[in-house]
Amino acid sequence: MLTQSGQNDGRRNSISAKAAYSKAAQKRLIDSKTRLDGVKAKIRNAVTTGRIDSSEQLKRAQLAVEANLKTAEARLERLRKSGEENWEDHRVDMDTAWEDLAQSIKKLVTRFSDGSK
């Protein structure tokens, strides 16, 4: 928004930055869920066919991913509901949630790979 002096007061930029980040975060969340669904399907198939044994480590890794996914969803919702003056604080939390989710998915894939016979 331009002020009377023709200066940009920054509100329009922060609104569009928040909207763009929220949209990108939503897409990333959908992509993560899709990837996770694929990994879980492969695990179920491998356990059912006897290619891997379902271990406690694998179960814990799956639970960690689910918990991190819920955290990412909650943080995205908080970011969306945040005001323009503090949305970037929530962005930091969202970035942390992404890192945690990515690491837990990576660990799940590793557990799955390690369990292959």
| Chain segment 2-53, per-residue pLDDT in tens | 444 444 454 455 557 888 999 999 999 999 899 889 988 998 898 889 888 8
* Dist. CA 103–CA 87, nearest whole Å: 24
Total number of domains constituting the chain: 1
Query: 35 lies in a domain?
Result: yes
Task: Say if pTM beats, i.e. exceeds, 0.85.
Answer: no
pLDDT at 70 over 90: yes
CATH code (residue 59): 1.20.120
Structural contact between residues 84 and 15, judged by C-beta atoms closer than 8 angstroms = yes
Query: What was the pLDDT predicted at 72?
Result: 95
Query: Average pLDDT in the 89-94 region?
Result: 92
Sequence-distant (6+) residues with CB within 8 A of 16 are none
Query: 96 lies in a domain?
Result: yes
* Dist. CA 87–CA 98, nearest whole Å: 16
pLDDT at 56 over 70: yes
Per-residue burial over 35-66, b = 16 or more CB atoms within 10 Å of its CB, e = otherwise? ebeebeeebeebbeeeebeeeeebeebbebbe
The range of the structural domain enclosing residue 90 comes to 18-115
Comparing 52 with 70, which gets the higher pLDDT? 70
Query: 2 lies in a domain?
Result: no
Query: 47 lies in a domain?
Result: yes
Query: What was the pLDDT predicted at 94?
Result: 94
Query: 4 lies in a domain?
Result: no
Query: What was the pLDDT predicted at 5?
Result: 44
The per-residue pLDDT of the chain, averaged, comes to 84
Query: 70 lies in a domain?
Result: yes
